[in-house]
Amino acid sequence: MLPPGITLRGRPETSHLCADADILPEKPLREMTAADIDEVLAVNLRGSILSVRACLPAMERAGHGRIILTSSATGPTTGYTGWSRYGASKAGQPGFPRGAALELTPLRITVNAVLPGNVRTEGLDALGEDYLRRMAAPIPLGRLGETPDIAHAVGSLASDEAAFITGQTLTVDGGQTVPESPDALALAPASVSG
């Protein structure tokens, strides 16, 4: 039986899950209520865990499985003003695969997380070109990520070739979290786009 509010799309007998739902309501810490915090944690963290739990019977019947959580670089690695509850929820996601991997490896189920950096989406596009330039500026590869960049990382972890990878996090951010400071990025050779 599925937890309330959780539905499975696609095949009822699945051996793969990419838990990718999240919400990102911006609000300063001083203005947050307990309900505001609970809302983000319920969708971003609790929802991921419940999705995994809902898929386990089908994966057990299949005799194997691949679980990939889509977290974020914001929270586990970086922060952003007004996004502290989002960051807290996303920081929990890379922690979950570690314990879950230990529980599920005897069932041949791997559990990993992907941490995207700044990725171009319709929501970001709506904020305008100036905003997009500022978001891309700290990325050594010189551009925002695109949805296929993340999809390829997830696909790799979902593949048979990734059968020996579990309990890990993969940051996909064009090197955004690598520089120690803006000075380190400024001292690097000029960024290339594409």
The mean pLDDT of 5-28, rounded to a whole number, is: 75
Residue 80 is predicted with a pLDDT of: 82
Neighbours of 177 (CB within 10 A): 16
**Residue 188 pLDDT exceeds 70:** yes
**Residue 93 pLDDT exceeds 90:** no
Residue 1 neighbours by CB under 8 Å, 6+ apart:
none
Residue 127 is predicted with a pLDDT of: 85
Report which of 35, 115, 116, 40 is spatially closest to residue 83, judged by C-alpha positions: 40
The mean pLDDT of 13-35, rounded to a whole number, is: 88
Helices 84-104 and 34-41, packing angle to 10 deg: 40
**Residue 139 pLDDT exceeds 50:** yes
Residue 61 is predicted with a pLDDT of: 92
Q: Is 80 a catalytic residue?
A: no
Token duo for residue 183: 């000075």
User: Which one of 76, 86, 92, 158 is the catalytic residue?
Assistant: 86
Residue 100 is predicted with a pLDDT of: 96
Answer for the pair 140, 147: CB distance below 8 angstroms, yes or no. no
The mean pLDDT of 166-188, rounded to a whole number, is: 87
